[in-house]
């Protein structure tokens, strides 16, 4: 782990460690998860400014992003994806990249289609799109998606795959990290958060504004059920 001192991790476990590169509602959210043993990385959501965030890290972190998880298609979660894919093309990435999302994320489908149409056979890496229905296992990591309450038309806890907005639990050797994605409050969130090693909980508003986001106090209530937590996706006052 000779580079561990180069990155200020928000949380470090025995198997995984996490850095919230940036998170603010309506601007951008991007979270880096490092698989310590393999020294590979997973990125959750790709908002605007992703390249500026990544290049502050040692190159091995962004060169070894093998998996990108997308929670939903709002611009503050996918707006930087085209830049990131084009950057990977520019630096001549050769490793395969997995892009995992719930189904029916039309914004994402459009971005990826444009990338393929623009660069076609000059893309030096394989990009595989995977629609997650519940669990996805890769190497030694288990990724579980759960439906959340977001995007104005859905109710948390309903079954996938018809819901285009999810949270994720990432599990390695019983170590678990939770990210709620964008969501309003629903009871099952507490079950998901209970006893996870590290929870990233959205807490968009100070006071109740909508049933599709959490308040700080709701986020805190859920976060306290985890062993450690951080509230992210707060809205910037303007």
The encoded tokens of residue 81 equal: 């994806």
What DSSP letter does each residue of 148-190 carry, written as one string?
Answer: -S-TTS--TTPPTTS-S-EEEEEEETTEEEEE--S----THHH
Size of the site for Zn ion (CB under 5 A): 3
Q: Choose between 53 and 182: whose C-beta lies nearer to Zn ion.
A: 182
Among 182, 183, 185, 215, binds Zn ion (CB under 5 A): 182
Q: Which stretch binds Zn ion (CB under 5 A): 101-109, 110-118, 177-185, 222-230?
A: 177-185
Q: Which stretch binds Zn ion (CB under 5 A): 34-42, 97-105, 126-134, 176-184?
A: 176-184
Where in 47-106 is the site for Zn ion (CB under 5 A)? 74, 76
The least CB distance from residue 212 to Zn ion, in Å, is: 8
Q: Choose between 13 and 80: whose C-beta lies nearer to Zn ion.
A: 80
Q: Choose between 48 and 76: whose C-beta lies nearer to Zn ion.
A: 76
Is 213 a binding residue for Zn ion by CB under 5 A? The answer is no
Residues at the interface with Zn ion (CB under 5 A) = 74, 76, 182
């Amino acid at each position: 782990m000779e580079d561990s001192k180069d990155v200020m991790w928000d949380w470090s476990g025995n198997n995984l460690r996490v850095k919230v590169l940036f998170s603010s509602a309506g601007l951008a959210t991007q979270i880096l998860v490092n698989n310590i043993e393999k020294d590979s990385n997973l990125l959750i959501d790709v908002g605007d400014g992703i390249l500026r965030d990544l290049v502050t890290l040692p190159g091995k972190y962004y060169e070894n992003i093998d998996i990108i998880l997308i929670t939903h298609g709002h611009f503050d979660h996918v707006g930087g994806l085209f830049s990131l894919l084009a950057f990977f093309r520019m630096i001549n990435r050769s490793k395969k990249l997995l892009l995992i999302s719930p189904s029916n994320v039309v914004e994402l489908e459009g971005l990826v289609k444009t990338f393929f149409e623009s660069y076609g056979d000059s893309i030096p890496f394989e990009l595989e799109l995977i629609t997650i229905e519940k669990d996805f296992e890769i190497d030694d990591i288990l990724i579980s998606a759960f439906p959340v309450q977001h995007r104005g038309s859905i109710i948390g806890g309903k079954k996938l795959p018809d819901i285009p907005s999810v949270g994720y639990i990432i599990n390695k050797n019983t170590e678990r990290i939770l990210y709620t994605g964008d969501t309003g409050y629903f009871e099952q969130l507490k079950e998901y958060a209970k006893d996870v090693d590290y929870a990233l909980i959205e807490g968009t508003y100070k006071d109740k504004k909508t049933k599709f986001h959490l308040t700080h106090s709701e986020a805190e209530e859920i976060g306290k059920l985890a062993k450690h937590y951080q509230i992210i996706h707060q809205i910037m006052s303007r």
